[in-house]
Chains A and B, each alone.
Chain A
Amino acid sequence: MSKKRSVTRRIFLIGGASIAGVGIAGLGIGTGYLASLDIDGLGAQKSNGGSVDLTAWINVAPDNNITLYVPFLEMGQGTYTGMAQLVAEELGIDVEAANVTVTHPTEELSAYANVTMFLNRRPEEEAGPVTWFSQRAVAAMRMVATGGSTAIVGNWTSLRQAGATARELLKAAAAQKLGVPADELVQKHTEFSSSDGTKSATFGELAELALEQPPPSKLELRKPEEFKIIGKSLPRLDVEQKVRGAAQYGIDVRLPNMVYAALQQAPVFGAKIKSIAEGGVRERHGIIDIVNLETAVAVVADNTWRAKQAVEALDITYEWPAEFADSAKVTADLKRRIEAEDYTRSDSRRDIPLHLEKAATTVEAFYETPYLAHATMEPMNTTAWWKEDDTVEVWSPTQSQTATRWAAEAVGPAKDVKVHVTYAGGGFGRRAETDFAIYAAKVALALKGRPVQVVWSREEDMRHDDYRPGAIAKMSAGLSSTGKLEVLKAEIGSPSVFASYLPRVLGMPAPADQDEATLEGILKSPYKPAAWQVSAVDVNSAIPVGFWRSVGHSNNGFFMECFADECAAGAGVDPAQFRLANLPPNSPEAAVLKLLLEKAQWAGPLGNGKGRGLAVHTSFRSTVGAVIDVSVDEDKVVTLERAVLACDCGTIINPQLVEAQMQGGFIFGLTAAAFGEITVEQGKVTQGNFDEYEMLKLGSAPAVEVHLVPSTNLPGGVGEPGTPPAAPALANAIFAATSERVRTLPISKSGYSIAEA
């Protein structure tokens, strides 16, 4: 590991653990260096010998082709389109035009570092000196990463500023070149002309001259009422490639002389390869090499299928770990620690005692959720080419270009690792990991000189995931005689995502305290009365856990919103009325709920055997409410009849994309609630493919109607917030239909199945 990198990793710890700014001086990085970082990328003007970067976000080529750099993984969320809209709003271009392209940059600039995700704060939030230091520390590390629904949130201002900066530079260049005063120039897409149309110049013709212009002194950004592109349902910029089958995902990379590899990973968490009996496999048609990767064996061949057949034919023996992981044991340990009040962390208003026993009504419930796999449609894969001179190129559908580069650098004496980020067939947090990149880099090093694509089988993908942790919750409440929530006590048990992720992916120590991911969505719940306590327990386990769409909210949304329903029942009031009475009246939750109740016709008629369930939850700076109607027959077969969502995500950049994310996030959550469960026995994951880890399909998924709250507030995230309300809305609907509380997920554990139309 180079010295430089070890410094940057330590900086990351400060960012990732939010120990804002402490000890930066001790790292030997001067404030002068930090101050010099161009964290918005507005000053990144340069000529690349032909084409010109006007800011870190916009490139103009002499032939007038415009490239917009989006350093976020396009994994379905529409980030290429949404980010392009922010730039285009100020740059004044038509992003759908043939001369505009969006691409993922290969450079890692400080402007591309995802400061918002690592510090969990918006750039627009007021920054004291401590925040100033930590923002720049993350930028210094140039950590390019996608996650936490942060692309728009983190770049809302900087991308519009970039568009305005480039526009002003080009306009000044046009004024000079055409001899026309700047305020008399007319812009049409990528061309400036004189008002009489006699003189004109394209961006491409102006770009070099734009570099010589003084930077604009003050940028006036358009006000919401002036927006022309923000707020429009532009079509996705990637849609045509995707319907043609022409979009290139990681698995579609094809390079001259490239070969393919299949993996057999040690089937037990913590096991290693002891020996490989090749038994003639090497002599098979098309087999090129067999590589021992310590925790996996790779077979390299001229065809993925031949590689897979061959790796399965090997006789591999393993060195087993001292202890075999077991998911049921994790749950049992978490329960025991909660019963013993053996908290890792406990937060409360110490001056206000809980006094549950004094409440007019007390409600208590115990909930349990399973481990979940990401199951992206495109299985894990990466293509790596370790060249003879030790320069390395990597092509990967990765949520972190930077972590992918580090992974390759850690494998061997790599020089100048260049990471090309491809389209991804889903991500959902899985691609924030680096295991797929490490294996590819290792195989490539063994195969020096020849590019190799390592593709995981579905079973390898399912059994070697970094799972959404299974969690438990003991929820207790005290209600007044009028149904007011007076006391709330939440005890949450879950393996810690950060404690698993930081050492595994970034080589850093686990946080000392239970991480916020375990408590998010409940520690700051809008329902919290004056008397509250939120506690957490943790259990160490060899089962790796990671970021799964909406992370802790996926558990805590279920706990809190099912419990709100139980409290309503305890108070003898309608679930919607209970929420409205207990949410702060001016909260986004109350506003979203009111819109939702109206649009879903909450009080409208329902037939026999039918139930209507409700949930509202805020995550990633957006609030989403959901109503779902179900019918349940005598055999506990549940038909998902319809779902209605309401969402307040602040300023809406692209309504149709927000709608798509709400629909997609909700179906993702419903699928998990209906079927999702990963179990680990004797150290091995039981489920292997979609017959054992089922998905909602066209015939079983409900239509999802989405209503958006108009807003001029700062934008919130949209990739994840649609997921948390799904499971509680479903469980509450089943209760409404059957009077049975489903407190354990998936609902199949309580005997419910999903009807296929």
Chain B
Amino acid sequence: MARLTINGKGHDLDVEGEMPLLWVLRDELNLTGTKFGCGAGLCGACTVSVDGEATRSCITSVESVEGTDIRTIETLASADTLNAVQQAWVEHQVPQCGYCQPGFIMAASALLEQTPDPSDEDINAALTNICRCGTYDRIRKAVRRAAELKKGGGQS
């Protein structure tokens, strides 16, 4: 048994302590916005926020995140308002297939919380995710735009 706090809600789960968080989210809780890409922490499609840190959930065991505040892509937007990063992603029409984008958006959201005005180096270091559709150009522009939106008092 494990007790996790996900998107502000407590869950008692009948899962092994070593089960990666990813599979709790996807298969136990049907939070399918967090994606499976590699299972080895290499691609970042499974990125979630753990206590505000971008974390690759496919290599993060359930037992290691008990008592933390876990946030997934599903919690970023309200019914009618996207967060600043999502807004910027729409403005720059970033997604193609879109499969990797929740991971990028989670990583970018965590980056901007910690570094509101990131340099190119900061962006490169924080966003080491893989996008097979090659949307990198637009991702970089969207991160910059999201930083502006946040500074301008947009949604956080």
CB pair B45 A660 closer than 8 Å: no
Report the separation of the CA atoms of residues A251 and B76 in the bound assembly, to the nearest whole angstrom. 22
Report the separation of the CA atoms of residues A308 and B23 in the bound assembly, to the nearest whole angstrom. 11
Task: Decide yes or no whether A570 CB sits under 8 A from chain B.
Answer: no
- CB closest chain-B residue, reference A643: B137
User: Given contacts A245-B33, A245-B72, is CB(A701)–CB(B134) below 8 Å?
Assistant: yes
Per-residue contact bits, chain B 74-95, to A (CB 8 Å; 1 contact, 0 not):
1011000010001001100111
Task: Decide yes or no whether B37 CB sits under 8 A from chain A.
Answer: yes
10 inter-chain pairs at a CB distance below 8 angstroms, sorted by A residue, are A76-B95, A240-B90, A304-B23, A305-B22, A378-B99, A660-B135, A666-B134, A697-B124, A697-B129, A757-B124
- CB closest chain-A residue, reference B104: A698
Task: Decide yes or no whether A238 CB sits under 8 A from chain B.
Answer: yes
- Neighbouring B residues of A240 by C-beta, 8 Å: 82, 90
User: Given contacts A238-B95, A377-B130, A423-B97, is CB(A701)–CB(B34) below 8 Å?
Assistant: no
- Determine the main DSSP class of A at the interface with B: loop
Report the separation of the CA atoms of residues A527 and B34 in the bound assembly, to the nearest whole angstrom. 49
Determine which of B22, B120, B131 lies in contact with A757 in the assembled complex, contact meaning CB atoms within 8 Å: B120
Report the separation of the CA atoms of residues A704 and B135 in the bound assembly, to the nearest whole angstrom. 10
Report the separation of the CA atoms of residues A691 and B42 in the bound assembly, to the nearest whole angstrom. 7
Residue of B15, B37, B100 contacting most chain A CB atoms (<10 Å):
B37
CB pair A303 B27 closer than 8 Å: yes
Kindly list the 5 A-B residue pairs having the minimum CB-CB distance in the complex, ordered from nearest: A245-B33, A667-B134, A425-B99, A76-B97, A242-B98
Question: In the complex, how many angstroms separate the beta carbon of B3 from the nearest chain A beta carbon?
Answer: 18
Task: Decide yes or no whether A249 CB sits under 8 A from chain B.
Answer: yes
CB pair A243 B37 closer than 8 Å: no
Report the separation of the CA atoms of residues A661 and B137 in the bound assembly, to the nearest whole angstrom. 12
User: Given contacts A252-B32, A668-B132, A695-B130, is CB(A423)–CB(B16) below 8 Å?
Assistant: no
Given contact pairs A245-B102, A377-B132, A426-B133, enumerate 8 new A-B contacts (beta carbons under 8 Å). Answer: A236-B93, A243-B94, A303-B28, A426-B99, A458-B39, A661-B96, A664-B135, A699-B125
Task: Decide yes or no whether A619 CB sits under 8 A from chain B.
Answer: no
Report the separation of the CA atoms of residues A303 and B24 in the bound assembly, to the nearest whole angstrom. 8
Task: Decide yes or no whether B73 CB sits under 8 A from chain A.
Answer: yes
CB pair B40 A458 closer than 8 Å: yes
- CB closest chain-A residue, reference B106: A245
- Neighbouring A residues of B27 by C-beta, 8 Å: 260, 302-305
CB pair B132 A701 closer than 8 Å: no
Per-residue contact bits, chain B 91-122, to A (CB 8 Å; 1 contact, 0 not):
00111111111100100000000000000110
- CB closest chain-B residue, reference A233: B93
CB pair A244 B137 closer than 8 Å: no
Task: Decide yes or no whether B43 CB sits under 8 A from chain A.
Answer: yes
CB pair A660 B138 closer than 8 Å: yes
CB pair A243 B42 closer than 8 Å: no
- Neighbouring A residues of B82 by C-beta, 8 Å: 240, 243-244
Task: Decide yes or no whether A101 CB sits under 8 A from chain B.
Answer: no
Determine which of B45, B94, B130 lies in contact with A697 in the assembled complex, contact meaning CB atoms within 8 Å: B130
Per-residue contact bits, chain A 412-436, to B (CB 8 Å; 1 contact, 0 not):
0000000000011111100000000
Question: In the complex, how many angstroms separate the beta carbon of A414 from the nearest chain B beta carbon?
Answer: 27
Give the residues from 1 to 53 in chain B that come closer than 8 angstroms, CB to CB, to chain A. Answer: 15-16, 19-20, 22-23, 26-28, 30, 32-40, 42-43, 45
Question: In the complex, how many angstroms separate the beta carbon of A599 from the nearest chain B beta carbon?
Answer: 16
User: Given contacts A77-B96, A244-B77, A244-B86, is CB(A425)–CB(B35) below 8 Å?
Assistant: yes
Task: Decide yes or no whether A358 CB sits under 8 A from chain B.
Answer: no
Task: Decide yes or no whether A690 CB sits under 8 A from chain B.
Answer: yes
Report the separation of the CA atoms of residues A305 and B59 in the bound assembly, to the nearest whole angstrom. 12
Task: Decide yes or no whether A596 CB sits under 8 A from chain B.
Answer: no
- CB closest chain-B residue, reference A665: B134
Task: Decide yes or no whether A212 CB sits under 8 A from chain B.
Answer: no
Report the separation of the CA atoms of residues A254 and B26 in the bound assembly, to the nearest whole angstrom. 10
Chain A: residues with CB nearer than 8 A to chain B?
75-78, 235-236, 238-249, 251-252, 254, 260, 285, 302-306, 308, 375-379, 423-428, 455, 457-458, 656, 660-661, 663-668, 671, 689-691, 695-699, 701, 703-704, 756-757
Task: Decide yes or no whether B150 CB sits under 8 A from chain A.
Answer: no
CB pair A426 B139 closer than 8 Å: no
- Neighbouring B residues of A691 by C-beta, 8 Å: 40, 42
Chain B: residues with CB nearer than 8 A to chain A?
15-16, 19-20, 22-23, 26-28, 30, 32-40, 42-43, 45, 72-74, 76-77, 82, 86, 89-90, 93-102, 105, 120-121, 123-125, 127-140
CB pair A243 B93 closer than 8 Å: no
User: Given contacts A303-B28, A305-B20, is CB(A379)–CB(B97) below 8 Å?
Assistant: no
User: Given contacts A285-B16, A698-B127, is CB(A236)–CB(B23) below 8 Å?
Assistant: no
Determine which of A76, A235, A244 lies in contact with B96 in the assembled complex, contact meaning CB atoms within 8 Å: A76
CB pair B132 A375 closer than 8 Å: yes
CB pair A424 B97 closer than 8 Å: yes
- CB closest chain-A residue, reference B37: A377
Residue of B15, B96, B121 contacting most chain A CB atoms (<10 Å):
B96
CB pair B93 A239 closer than 8 Å: yes
User: Given contacts A76-B133, A240-B82, A698-B140, is CB(A457)–CB(B39) below 8 Å?
Assistant: yes
Report the separation of the CA atoms of residues A671 and B130 in the bound assembly, to the nearest whole angstrom. 11
Question: In the complex, how many angstroms separate the beta carbon of B107 from the nearest chain A beta carbon?
Answer: 10
CB pair A245 B37 closer than 8 Å: no
- Neighbouring A residues of B16 by C-beta, 8 Å: 285
Determine which of A244, A660, A701 lies in contact with B93 in the assembled complex, contact meaning CB atoms within 8 Å: A660
Report the separation of the CA atoms of residues A656 and B40 in the bound assembly, to the nearest whole angstrom. 34
Question: In the complex, how many angstroms separate the beta carbon of A233 from the nearest chain B beta carbon?
Answer: 8
CB pair B42 A696 closer than 8 Å: no
Determine which of B35, B86, B94 lies in contact with A251 in the assembled complex, contact meaning CB atoms within 8 Å: B35
Determine which of B43, B77, B124 lies in contact with A698 in the assembled complex, contact meaning CB atoms within 8 Å: B124
Residue of B77, B120, B134, B137 contacting most chain A CB atoms (<10 Å):
B134
Question: In the complex, how many angstroms separate the beta carbon of A115 from the nearest chain B beta carbon?
Answer: 26
User: Given contacts A378-B99, A698-B139, is CB(A243)–CB(B90) below 8 Å?
Assistant: yes
